Amino acid sequence: MGKSQKKTGKGRLDKYYKLAKEQGYRARSAFKLIQLNKKYAFLESARCCIDLCAAPGGWLQVASKYMPQNSVIVGVDLVPIKPIPRVVTFASDITTTQCRNLIRNELKDWRADVVLHDGAPNVGTAWIQDAYSQSELVLMSLKLAVDFLVKGGTFVTKVFRSADYNNLIWVFNQLFGKVEATKPPSSRNVSAEIFVVCRDFLAPKHIDPKFLDPKHVFKELGTSVAAGADKGSSANNLQANVFQPEKKRRHRDGYADGDYTLFKAVPVADFVKSPDPISVLGSVNRMTFKTDEEKEWYALDITTGDIKANCDDLKVLGKGDFKALLKWRAALREELGLDNKTKETEDVTETVEIVEEADEEQQIQEELERLNAEAAARTKRERRRANEIKTKTIQRMQLQMTAPLDIGLEQHDASLGGQDDFFDLGGAETGLRKRGGVAALGDEDDAASDEEDKGPDNDETGSVLDSDEERQRKVDGLEAEMDGLYDAYRDRMRERDAKFKVKESRQKNAEREEWQGIQQPIDVDSDSDEEAGGWETMAAAKEQDEDSSSDDDSESGDDGSTPAPRKRPRSEPGPSKPAKRMKLVNDLREPKKQSASDAAKVWFSQDLFEGVDDGMELGDDETDSEMSVDEDADGSDIQSDNMADDDFEIVKADEDDDDMWDVEDENEDHVKAQKIKQHGLVTAEAMALAQQLVNRQTTKTQLINDGFNRYSLNSKEGLPDWFLDEEAKFYKPNIPITKEAVAALRAKQRALDARPIKKIAEAKARKKFKAAQRLEKAMKKAEGVNATADMSEREKAQQIEKVMRKGLSAGKKAKKEVKVVVAKGAARGVKGRPKGVKGRYTMVDSRMKKEVRAKKRVEKANKKRKRT
């Protein structure tokens, strides 16, 4: 931000502050945009974004992370913003034409899909003044937004809940199809800020300048307040000034008659004796003790130093100070006997009223009104308490979890009716209440004290449970209940949904296996219910990849999150399930089977990869970083016994392979490239990353850095099942490649897979051709037999059957065995058939026989090696 902020005040160092530090965001406000985007998803599809009031750049970082590569991102602020990759920034005032021109120059004739505004004026003096300038700043940002937004675009702005709020919302509604106000969980409860997301910009051809003119937009309320004042409701207004400062407006009507100064001092007696003390507090700057009577009051014990100081400057006082003054007044009046008098007077009035036979109906009416008001106040109080409890429950849950963002909670703002929560705990809470499981919550209900009596800090701690132990016990109880509910839900699902059962058992298997390898792509048509784009799409695609794997399990690792249920590709038979499972515990360095390495060979045979061994290594790097944790865990040299039954000889891993993970190896690049060539870049994601490296769209460092994220060391210890299940679905890293790139590569791979190997195709064709020839020949022969006159019909039939059988058979003559005969002793050198040898034979000497055997052995061994 422009001005330096105190980092130790009221919960400034909250979890979002820490998270921001941890994740390298420049400001905790980054999470506000992340959460807004999570709800409205406007960044993923945006190609151009303008961030107004962007310093220090938290929102810009988020935009650059979530928007597609090569999008245009422009940030403006009064203060310079430290450079951010892929982002252009200016230092300029957004209310000036110079700023407009700068943005225009940068964007040329591009239009923005998203305009963001998180501006806060750097005034920091009077809150009322701040709120007003904030509203003006919002209107200025809207002015810029309508200049640059594309039709259908999104404008996100921060507004304060002030008197101008409704006017601003009205203006937004004139220009946008959908306008929603929301308060993301990361926005502090104590802050009056609220975010308005205006979608579907209508892009009217002509916009009445009055819509964007503060004088007009904020006029109506200003005058209504003034009008209210005219109607003699000054007392109410001034009361509002004290306890609801946002209601106060600027003096647009000039000074009161005969009162030309802004500073007002009144004798303290005015305050003490006035029937409307609050209006006095709201209208003056100082209360003086000048008369003798007032000096006496000054000397009293109840007139403490604080009271004296408060009377000295009323404009700097807060709610608590005003309350103290009112208490002091009440005490003083009691001491002076002023209140008794009033009581007496009231009694007299009452008596008079009775004497005057007040209208009974009117009394009933008044009583009813009073009761109604009381009921309304009670409901309000209850709602507030419920909200407080909900917030606290959420906070406690978050304290138990490592990923507060995933809970994506949206606090329900009572003033913004009709907005759905991201994750409504209300239901769960009610359920728990019914079972009596959250007595804790009830306790807290009672414990929640009146907000008015406490500062925001007290709010946090005052109603929080007494001791750590007690709190822990209650949290445990709540968790146990949640687990119970979740188990019940799963039981219900198991009964109702057979698919769920299968899914669950697969999940369990997968969890047991823990390590998940990279596999072959499968048919894209296979159903995936999470095809939502972004990571979901990638994850679904990845799942498909993994599903289709026949046996290769060492290339790409997942981040260790629970894998989704797998499916066998329809097109390929693949090994049986047990075989597949068995492979999962194999040595990671075991040489890959045919399919993976073939795919890799085809892939690397492209011109693109000529002489780019260096780059290749990075593709692996990426994979390494993702899989390293699992690899360490599972990479033991376990050899399944079943392997012995395989056709393949188990070959001990090369020493080179041992070096794969040794970063200190000087041949590292070469070795890794070899490994990739050998095992293949099997998933489309890995290929897309490799392609990005080759095309210099990304760098090695960037990929390595991307590999270290909050997903990489995600401990699951002690987390409840429902949370892990939820996490398995949504807590996944976003690989920095586009959906389109993966789709294109997958299509390419499918095309390659669909093609048979040329040699096989030719051999098949030859075989077919020869069979046809044989058949034709047989038919001709059969015709000849049929035409023969000197054969009986029976003989003909027998002959034709014989001929046809021969024609339809494979036509391969059994190879006649040739016996190898070694002439020894006296027989050596003798010509002619040796004694006792029948059929074909060949004479050899003993040396030749050995050589032939050795040759056969070598051929066989080579064959096996090739197959593995």
Ligand X SMILES: C[S@@+](CC[C@H](N)C(=O)[O-])C[C@H]1O[C@@H](n2cnc3c(N)ncnc32)[C@H](O)[C@@H]1O
Smallest distance, Å, CB 672 to ligand X?
Answer: 39
Which region, judged by CB under 6 A, interacts with ligand X, from 92-100, 498-506, 763-771, 778-786?
Answer: 92-100
Closest CA to 196 of 40, 1, 38: 40
Tokens of residue 297, six digits: 């009051």
**β pairing state of 193-201 and 176-182:** antiparallel
Which region, judged by CB under 6 A, interacts with ligand X, from 52-60, 324-332, 446-454, 574-582?
Answer: 52-60
Using CA atoms, how far apart are residues 318 and 229, in angstroms rounded to an integer? 23
Which region, judged by CB under 6 A, interacts with ligand X, from 49-57, 349-357, 392-400, 845-853?
Answer: 49-57
Which region, judged by CB under 6 A, interacts with ligand X, from 56-64, 295-303, 355-363, 651-659?
Answer: 56-64
Name the helix (H) or strand (E) containing 854.
helix 846-867
Closest CA to 5 of 244, 185, 191: 191
285 near ligand X (CB under 6 A): no
Select from 41, 78, 744, 844 the one that contacts ligand X (CB under 6 A).
Answer: 78
Measured from the CB atom, is 58 or 563 closer to ligand X?
Answer: 58
Residue 523 assigned as binding residue: no
181 near ligand X (CB under 6 A): no
φ, ψ for residue 650 (rounded to 5)? -80, 115
Select from 22, 93, 374, 845 the one that contacts ligand X (CB under 6 A).
Answer: 93
Smallest distance, Å, CB 318 to ligand X?
Answer: 23
733 near ligand X (CB under 6 A): no
HSE-up (13 A, CA, CB side) for residue 24: 10
Smallest distance, Å, CB 253 to ligand X?
Answer: 28
158 labelled catalytic: yes
Question: Cβ distance 386 to 132 under 8 Å?
Answer: no
156 near ligand X (CB under 6 A): no
Select from 46, 77, 176, 586 the one that contacts ligand X (CB under 6 A).
Answer: 77
Using CA atoms, how far apart are residues 357 and 352, in angstroms rounded to an integer? 9
Measured from the CB atom, is 95 or 129 closer to ligand X?
Answer: 95
Read off the amino acid at residue 179.
V
20 near ligand X (CB under 6 A): no
Smallest distance, Å, CB 246 to ligand X?
Answer: 19
98 near ligand X (CB under 6 A): no
> In sequence order, which residues have a C-beta less than 8 Å from that of residue 79 and are 6 or more positions away?
2, 55, 91
Using CA atoms, how far apart are residues 675 and 14, in angstroms rounded to an integer? 46
* 833 secondary structure, DSSP code: P
661 near ligand X (CB under 6 A): no
Closest CA to 283 of 225, 227, 237: 237
Burial class (CB in 10 A: 0-12, 13-18, 19+), 546: buried
Degrees to nearest 5, angle at CA 822 with 820 and 824: 165
57 near ligand X (CB under 6 A): yes
Contacts of residues 543-548 at CB distance under 8 Å and 24 or more positions apart, as own/partner, are 545/518, 545/519, 545/520, 545/521, 545/682, 545/683, 545/684, 545/685, 546/516, 546/517, 546/518, 546/519, 547/519, 547/522, 548/519, 548/520, 548/521, 548/522, 548/523, 548/572, 548/574
Smallest distance, Å, CB 175 to ligand X?
Answer: 21
Measured from the CB atom, is 137 or 688 closer to ligand X?
Answer: 137
Smallest distance, Å, CB 66 to ligand X?
Answer: 14
Tokens of residue 121, six digits: 């004026």
Measured from the CB atom, is 99 or 599 closer to ligand X?
Answer: 99
Select from 43, 48, 55, 735 the one that contacts ligand X (CB under 6 A).
Answer: 55
Which region, judged by CB under 6 A, interacts with ligand X, from 48-56, 164-172, 204-212, 659-667?
Answer: 48-56
Select from 20, 27, 272, 432 the one that contacts ligand X (CB under 6 A).
Answer: 27
Which region, judged by CB under 6 A, interacts with ligand X, from 73-81, 174-182, 732-740, 835-843?
Answer: 73-81
Residues 241-270 contacting ligand X, CB under 6 A = none
Residue 836 assigned as binding residue: no
Tokens of residue 109, six digits: 């004739």
Q: H-type helices in 662-811, by residue range?
A: 668-679, 684-694, 700-707, 721-730, 739-754, 758-787, 793-808
53 near ligand X (CB under 6 A): yes
Q: What is the DSSP string of 103-157?
A: HHHHHTT--EEEEEE----S--S-HHHHHHHHHHHHHHHHHHHHHHEEEEEEEEE
Using CA atoms, how far apart are residues 2 and 554, in angstroms rounded to an integer? 50
Measured from the CB atom, is 53 or 596 closer to ligand X?
Answer: 53
> In sequence order, which residues have a C-beta less than 8 Å from that of residue 771 and are 6 or more positions away?
810, 811
36 near ligand X (CB under 6 A): no
Residue 93 assigned as binding residue: yes
Residue 297 assigned as binding residue: no
φ, ψ for residue 160 (rounded to 5)? -105, 145
416 near ligand X (CB under 6 A): no
Select from 19, 36, 46, 54 the one that contacts ligand X (CB under 6 A).
Answer: 54
Smallest distance, Å, CB 754 to ligand X?
Answer: 49
Question: Cβ distance 53 to 26 under 8 Å?
Answer: no
Smallest distance, Å, CB 29 to ligand X?
Answer: 4
For tokens 């298997």, name the residue: 509
**Residues paired with residue 112 on neighbouring β-strands, in sequence order:** 149
30 near ligand X (CB under 6 A): yes
1 near ligand X (CB under 6 A): yes
Which region, judged by CB under 6 A, interacts with ligand X, from 55-63, 176-184, 481-489, 532-540?
Answer: 55-63
Measured from the CB atom, is 143 or 732 closer to ligand X?
Answer: 143
Q: Rounded to whole angstroms, what are the CA distances from 572 to 360, 548, 551, 595?
A: 91, 8, 12, 11
Q: Rounded to whole angstroms, what are the CA distances from 631 to 558, 615, 627, 658, 811?
A: 10, 23, 6, 13, 53
Q: Both ends of the chain: CA-CA distance in Å?
A: 61
Using CA atoms, how far apart are residues 309 and 296, in angstroms rounded to an integer? 17
Measured from the CB atom, is 91 or 821 closer to ligand X?
Answer: 91
Smallest distance, Å, CB 179 to ligand X?
Answer: 20
2 near ligand X (CB under 6 A): yes
Select from 22, 69, 79, 349 the one that contacts ligand X (CB under 6 A).
Answer: 79
Which region, judged by CB under 6 A, interacts with ligand X, from 50-58, 347-355, 636-644, 763-771?
Answer: 50-58
Residues 512-551 contacting ligand X, CB under 6 A = none
Select from 26, 183, 247, 566 the one that contacts ligand X (CB under 6 A).
Answer: 26
Q: Which of 3, 108, 151, 158 is the catalytic position? A: 158
Residues 104-133 contacting ligand X, CB under 6 A = 118-122
Measured from the CB atom, is 55 or 225 closer to ligand X?
Answer: 55
56 near ligand X (CB under 6 A): yes
Smallest distance, Å, CB 141 to ligand X?
Answer: 9
191 near ligand X (CB under 6 A): no
95 near ligand X (CB under 6 A): yes
Measured from the CB atom, is 26 or 161 closer to ligand X?
Answer: 26
Question: Cβ distance 571 to 530 under 8 Å?
Answer: no
Residue 558 assigned as binding residue: no
Smallest distance, Å, CB 94 to ligand X?
Answer: 4
Q: Which residues participate in catalysis according to the annotation?
A: 158
User: Which residues of the chain form contacts with ligand X (CB under 6 A)?
Assistant: 1-2, 26-27, 29-30, 53-59, 76-79, 93-95, 118-122, 137
In the annotated binding site, the residues are 57, 59, 77, 93, 118
Instruction: Specify binding-site residues for S-adenosyl-L-methionine.
Output: 57, 59, 77, 93, 118
